[in-house]
Amino acid sequence: MIPEDVWNEIKKVIPQKQPGSVGRPASDEWRILSGVLFVVRAGIQWKYLPEIYGPPSTVHGRFIKWVECGVFSEITHTARQFYQGQEWFDEFWLAIYSSHSKHHLPLRVVRTRLIAVNEASKE
């Protein structure tokens, strides 16, 4: 899970559900973002996401929504700013660790990752 102090900064950029809006109750955004980061970091398929992060379809759907509206880019930017002053933080290694894969990925996953990378690089 994402540390609480980091989450307190990140949750400011995630759009909140409007009071009085209809539909299902909002899911726990903290848990969903942790699930997204788990999938990206582990390189697994969404359907193999552990139950602790919620339904894979919900986590994946929220990720796609965040990427399309630019929120995921803001999340990564906020997290980078938070960790920037830490002596152990090195963006060089962050880029290396985030770009490896042991298997061929489905085209839709590659597209999703490319969209996220392009959004993050526009900053």
In a domain, 16, yes or no: no
pLDDT attached to residue 97: 47
Which parts of 21-123 fold into alpha helices (H)?
29-42, 56-68, 71-83, 91-97, 107-121
pLDDT attached to residue 55: 93
pLDDT attached to residue 24: 72
pLDDT attached to residue 96: 43
Q: Which domain holds residue 45?
A: 4-11+28-121
Averages of pLDDT over each 10 residues, the chain, 123 residues:
83 79 75 89 87 92 91 85 69 49 62 73 67
pLDDT attached to residue 102: 54
Among candidate residues 69, 97, 82, the one with its CA nearest the CA of residue 8: 82
In a domain, 23, yes or no: no
Domains in the chain, number? 1
In a domain, 103, yes or no: yes
